[in-house]
Structure 1
Amino acid sequence: MSQQETIQDYHFASGSQFLESIRSSGYKNVARALAELVDNSIQAGASDVDILVSEKEVTPNKYTVNRVNEIAVLDDGEGMDSDLLRRALRLGDGTHFDDQSGIGKFGVGLPQASVSQAKRIDVWTWQNDIENAYHTYIDLDDEEWVKNMSIPKPEQDVEIPQKWKDTTSFPKDSGTLVVWSHVDRVNWKQGKTIYKNSEDLIGRMYRNWIHTDTEQPDASISLKIYNEETKEVDQTWKFQPNDPLYLMENTNVDLPEGVPDPMFEQMGEKIERKYQVTKPGEGTTEETVTLTFSICKPETRQRVDGTPAGAASHGKHAKDNMGLSIVREGRELLLDRSWTTKDPRNRWWGAQIEFGRRMDDIFGVTNNKQGADRLVEVANSDWEDYAEEGETTAETRERLKSEDFQTYVCLDLRQKIDEVIGELATKVEEIGEYNVDDTEDNDEDNRHEGTPERVGTAVTEERKEQGQTGESDEEEELSENEKEEEIQTRLEEQGLDERTIEEVKGDVVDYGLKFSFVEKPLASSQIFSVEPTAGSIIIGVNKDHLAYEELFSSLEFEDEEEFDEEEATEKLEAANMALKLLLEAWARMEDEESGETKHQLKDIRNDWGRVAREFLAQDQVPE
């Protein structure tokens, strides 16, 4: 070691770079990150868990709106002593790793989830009266904290801010309060948006706790909005269970009159598969994996006041719950849609796989408890995919059982799940013949069915669920009148006619589309413009650009025009030529640049290509 080198120069983690990596740790959205804190509360025996959202007024444009300022999670669990609190904020220092049961294990949940959303994390916890609460923190805006990356010794003289006490009833004997401030990565900007986007997710994840008729300990999970200006709680919601098997009564599904509660029934007996799992240093244990399947009752698929079941509230709810529910220690990791197809009939059955924490390595459970990667990986695989040349299926099974036990277990379960799902699909056909009754589209919605605007809207919603937010998203919470006013003003200023303006209003306000196209002249050489407006993105196609004539207008056919194959071929060839010339123009522009600009153009091309792949993959867009 040279004289200038120190041990600190070779820390396993490198300060700010390490923290940036942790902050980008893959939580799909703020609801998923909050779930880590709720996990801790339930593990601590809490019966009440409050998600508290404080909002402040901001004016990002001409409208004043409320935006998330801070987020807190309060529980009445057993609390922590000083040492445990300090350890709880350290990555990998979990106290539940060797437990035989329970949600927690990995020791990264609280710190990793918290810094993925915020730069400042304060924690108060108490075991013998709130007046004796310990406090410590993480502060990524503090250069000294980042340099040392050490959790300060908990103190008992830091008061809990009064606003949190005003938001809810604080447990006196024991509990924990976690507060996120400097929330720079929260993807949903309002408390009601957080609730709207997490209502079904939280309800599914913790259905076995918040439903009163289950074997798990009872718990209540609520979300409350605190207004920083009025110093009052504006709204309160209590999360209701969301059961994708539809075997629970009194869940969050809106059941029309005549639809039974629960609306599904269990398909046969639960299936238990037992496996001998060996872990180094821990020996071999027999672990049980339980498969549960359900199918709708005949009454569930009957029309409701003349409306097809698929178009009714319960049918739409069931469509959102299509897939295999993967449940670990009673808590859902994810609802995996790769085990089924987009056939609308698949909403009328449910499937669940449930296992304990000792199967984590087998199924590839991620440390943020958002997935079971190895299990999901085999969803569309079969024994043949792993067979060596000349092997029979039986020989492949035996070889994998000894050589790759993890894959063997996943494939064994996949085979059984696939077998039962096939039976379910057949029974659903017997219950009711497939027809338009299973779709929720009506004549009004059909105006945009299959259009780029509808496809783009669906893909954008999926990207938002994954935490990819955009400038336009901030105005999605405007009222319909505010949206119409902004569209009217913006497009009138651009000289667009009233008919076009009304069509855009209809796209955005009436049909809920994220994208709307208008044709207009642009002063510059742009082929198109991008204008975030009223929660949507208006794309202006430059009708004065040669690309418009050669590409867009060349493919237009009037509705009353008789289809001419020769003319269609000519138009397609012209459009193909125009598209290739546009790509050549970009390539030449990139070729002529140098230095940083050249690198930026390449990065933009890569980013555009990645997003374009999602938009063009229409077969992956939920129907």
Structure 2
Amino acid sequence: MNMSRSMRGAGISSVLAAQRAYAEARRERSKYGLMVPEAFVRGIRDLGYRSNGDAIAELIDNALQAFADRVDIVFGYDGTTSSKKPVQLAVIDNGHGMESDMIRMAVMWGGTHREDDRTGLGRYGYGLPCASVSLGRRFTVYSAVADGDMHAVTLDLDALAAGDYTDLHGEIVVPEAQRVDLPSFVADHIALAHPTGWHAGTVILIDKLDRLEWATTQGLRENLGRQFGVTYHKLRGEAALFVDNEFVEPIDPLFLTPDFHLHDLDSDLAQPLDPIRIEVRDPETASYRGAMTLRYAWLPPSFGSVDKERDAVGLNANPRFAILKDYHGIVFSRNGRLIDVQTRTPWTSFINNDRYIKVEIEFSATLDEAFGVTTSKQQVTVSTFIWDLLREAGLPKAIEQLRAKVKDAKLARRLAAFSPKPGERLLSERAMCGIAGLGGAEREHQYDLGLRVSPYRLQFETLPGHPFFRVDRNSGARTLHINTAHRFYEDLYQAPPTTAEFRSALEILLFCYGDVLLDAGEGAKGTLFGQVHLWSRRLEQALGMMASHLIASDDEDVGPLE
């Protein structure tokens, strides 16, 4: 059932009643004061979040719990004509909103009527103020309930330090909510995003931005969009997310969900193992505490590449590669919301080669203590109890099985690279073509790009008494001829222990030396070709001597040890 739809209508009145009761109960006890003086707020800023995205995610969590079905992250430029870098950031939702007393509470650390709630995404009441001050030195909470006026409360850290929030008794007091109008850029965006009317909701406006990680609007938009696409991919039935007017496409970090972004970017598809559900029970009473679901996937070794014959390096990395890199390890999700990725377990650690195996552990919020969930929902500290359950459920074996599948796929890919299909070039020929332009402008005329042949070709010939290789120019290509009558061919190039990879390396070695021969000046060319003849005779003798030693050692008997 869709949570936002099921709670709208009559359900929202009960939520507002809970807010009202909470604010009334706390009014006298708290006197609307902050928990501690301004040093607390400065310390909270320095505790920080892993990224801007993690901070803003706290505000998105609040919007989802307010049953919003649309959440917008909007950038403001304070009336300037430049849109290169925002100076304001607003998170806008169309949830149930807050009454004025609750807005005042929401600015406080720990001010939430959902304290210790295990059914949603938040339970501490720290997210809104912590996230806001981690991005900027001032934030304002605007909110309105259905058929109500817009009210707002502002907390400015500079004003706090100047004593503007300190009353006659020396206590720091959050000001009362005031009736206000929304900033023009927020109001304009709401008019476009909600053409039939914005009847209730909340806006968190953060300005005096001094901790943005990305220097441009484009960088901020792209990185936030990618992160939120992954973080909330399981909750996309609850609300649509937009960053700077762009819809955030959901991204499954295991790439297993059809129709999600990047799932079928190309013919490479994620391969799943069967998921496992684990019930968690109290070890003493056997009472049910919650559940975990394990999902597994392995990815083809070319999954992150544009050109499938090459690794995902530099410009050859496709849009999937950023997800492989950022979500490398075991993914932990709580109530459908991704909160952490860890590369270490008690029995193994994930290395770079493990980017192509994917493991997700989804758990319910009732298991927060067992997973050591932090107040900012950025990290888990998995208890020994949980690790033991995961081990019993076969997680270590599953990880090794995923690794084995990727290893087999890499081996198959390697073998395919050394065994070209009819009409395809050899790996060594392709490798040399890749460096064909590195020799300088004086060689560029030697390669006719209109030719169907490769600039480098390998051929075989049988010429007893001749050098083990020679090179020439033929039809615009540089051709390497390997002499099958020389010991080099049988004892080294085609010897039983020689792998296809080593054979390709030998071809590249001779191609490179051949370039030196062909590019040498006329005066030096004769000397170099003469050295090849001497090298070939010496090599023939040495390989023959090596072969005789090997035959002699095979014939030797080894008696019993005394």
TM bin, normalised by shorter chain, reads 0.5 to 0.7
1:359 aligns with 2:367: yes
Change (3 A) 1:341 1:92: same
Secondary structure in 2 aligned to 1:288? strand
1:347 aligns with 2:355: yes
> Offset at 1:258?
2.9
> Offset at 1:305?
5.9
Report the AA paired with residue 251 of structure 2. Answer: N
- Aligned 1:86-105 pairs, distance under 5 A: 86-105=104-123
Structure 1 contact 246–350 (Cα < 8 Å) conserved = no
Gaps of 5+ in 1: 1-7, 211-216, 225-235, 376-405, 448-623
Alpha-carbon distance in 1 for matches of 2:186, 2:304: 48
Q: 1:322 aligns with which of 317, 321, 328?
A: 328
Q: Deviations over 1:432-463 (max 9, x none)?
A: 41766999xx999x99xxxxxxxxxxxxxxxx
Change (3 A) 1:269 1:37: closer
Alpha-carbon distance in 1 for matches of 2:178, 2:331: 42
**Cross-structure match for 2:242:** 222
**Cross-structure match for 1:538:** none
> Offset at 1:251?
2.8
Change (3 A) 1:118 1:305: closer
Alpha-carbon distance in 1 for matches of 2:212, 2:323: 28
Report the AA paired with residue 271 of structure 1. Answer: R
Structure 1 contact 265–295 (Cα < 8 Å) conserved = yes
- Aligned 1:493-508 pairs, distance under 5 A: none
Alpha-carbon distance in 2 for matches of 1:291, 1:28: 25
1:114 aligns with 2:132: yes
1:370 aligns with 2:389: no
Change (3 A) 1:37 1:278: farther
Structure 1 contact 126–176 (Cα < 8 Å) conserved = yes
Alpha-carbon distance in 2 for matches of 1:151, 1:12: 7
Alpha-carbon distance in 1 for matches of 2:416, 2:97: 49
> Offset at 1:306?
5.5
- Aligned 1:333-482 pairs, distance under 5 A: 333-338=339-344, 345-372=353-380, 374-375=381-382, 406-413=383-390, 416-433=394-411
Q: Deviations over 1:372-430 (max 9, x none)?
A: 0x22xxxxxxxxxxxxxxxxxxxxxxxxxxxxxx4222343256422210111112233
**Cross-structure match for 1:16:** 38
Alpha-carbon distance in 1 for matches of 2:390, 2:354: 20
> Offset at 1:81?
1.6
Alpha-carbon distance in 1 for matches of 2:44, 2:290: 32
Structure 2 contact 66–96 (Cα < 8 Å) conserved = yes
Structure 1 contact 127–173 (Cα < 8 Å) conserved = yes
Aligned-residue CA RMSD (Å): 3.6
Alpha-carbon distance in 2 for matches of 1:290, 1:222: 29
Report the AA paired with residue 307 of structure 1. Answer: E
Change (3 A) 1:436 1:244: farther
Structure 2 contact 165–175 (Cα < 8 Å) conserved = no
**Cross-structure match for 2:156:** 139
**Cross-structure match for 2:232:** 206
Report the AA paired with residue 33 of structure 1. Answer: A
1:31 aligns with 2:33: no
Report the AA paired with residue 30 of structure 1. Answer: N
Alpha-carbon distance in 1 for matches of 2:232, 2:156: 30
1:237 aligns with 2:260: no
Alpha-carbon distance in 1 for matches of 2:289, 2:283: 6
**Cross-structure match for 1:150:** 173
> Offset at 1:112?
0.9
Q: 1:288 aligns with which of 291, 298, 305?
A: 291
Change (3 A) 1:45 1:436: farther
Q: Deviations over 1:261-290 (max 9, x none)?
A: xx22430242324222799xxx96432122
**Cross-structure match for 1:179:** 205
> Offset at 1:40?
0.3
Alpha-carbon distance in 2 for matches of 1:336, 1:316: 18
Change (3 A) 1:246 1:58: same
**Cross-structure match for 2:444:** none
Alpha-carbon distance in 2 for matches of 1:108, 1:438: 55
**Cross-structure match for 1:598:** none
Q: Deviations over 1:572-602 (max 9, x none)?
A: xxxxxxxxxxxxxxxxxxxxxxxxxxxxxxx
> Offset at 1:70?
0.6
> Offset at 1:17?
1.5
**Cross-structure match for 2:309:** 307
> Offset at 1:336?
2.1
Alpha-carbon distance in 1 for matches of 2:400, 2:89: 44
**Cross-structure match for 1:383:** none
Structure 2 contact 294–359 (Cα < 8 Å) conserved = yes
Change (3 A) 1:257 1:81: same
Change (3 A) 1:127 1:56: closer
Alpha-carbon distance in 1 for matches of 2:214, 2:252: 24
Structure 1 contact 42–77 (Cα < 8 Å) conserved = yes
Secondary structure in 1 aligned to 2:344? helix
Secondary structure in 2 aligned to 1:346? helix
**TM-score, with structure 1 as normaliser:** 0.54
Report the AA paired with residue 275 of structure 1. Answer: R
Q: Deviations over 1:29-73 (max 9, x none)?
A: 2111101000000111111100011136999xxxx9832211100
Q: 1:54 aligns with which of 73, 76, 80?
A: 76
Change (3 A) 1:353 1:437: farther
1:191 aligns with 2:246: no
Structure 1 contact 327–353 (Cα < 8 Å) conserved = yes
Alpha-carbon distance in 1 for matches of 2:307, 2:238: 37
Alpha-carbon distance in 2 for matches of 1:436, 1:102: 47
Secondary structure in 2 aligned to 1:23? helix
Q: Deviations over 1:338-364 (max 9, x none)?
A: 357565552333111011112111111
Q: 2:65 aligns with which of 43, 47, 64?
A: 43
Alpha-carbon distance in 1 for matches of 2:391, 2:77: 46
Alpha-carbon distance in 2 for matches of 1:434, 1:44: 51
Structure 1 contact 118–182 (Cα < 8 Å) conserved = yes
Structure 1 contact 325–353 (Cα < 8 Å) conserved = yes
Report the AA paired with residue 290 of structure 2. Answer: E
Secondary structure in 2 aligned to 1:368? coil
Mark the structure with the bigger radius of gyration: 2
**Cross-structure match for 1:81:** 99
Structure 1 contact 16–146 (Cα < 8 Å) conserved = no
Structure 1 contact 245–294 (Cα < 8 Å) conserved = yes
> Offset at 1:295?
2.7
Alpha-carbon distance in 1 for matches of 2:173, 2:234: 37
Q: Deviations over 1:305-340 (max 9, x none)?
A: 663475552662563233211000110002223357
Secondary structure in 1 aligned to 2:408? helix
Identical-pair percentage? 25
**TM-score, with structure 2 as normaliser:** 0.59
**Cross-structure match for 2:475:** none
**Cross-structure match for 1:247:** 256
Change (3 A) 1:144 1:317: closer
Structure 2 contact 280–288 (Cα < 8 Å) conserved = no
Alpha-carbon distance in 1 for matches of 2:305, 2:136: 47
Gaps of 5+ in 2: 1-29, 418-429, 436-562
Structure 1 contact 57–65 (Cα < 8 Å) conserved = no
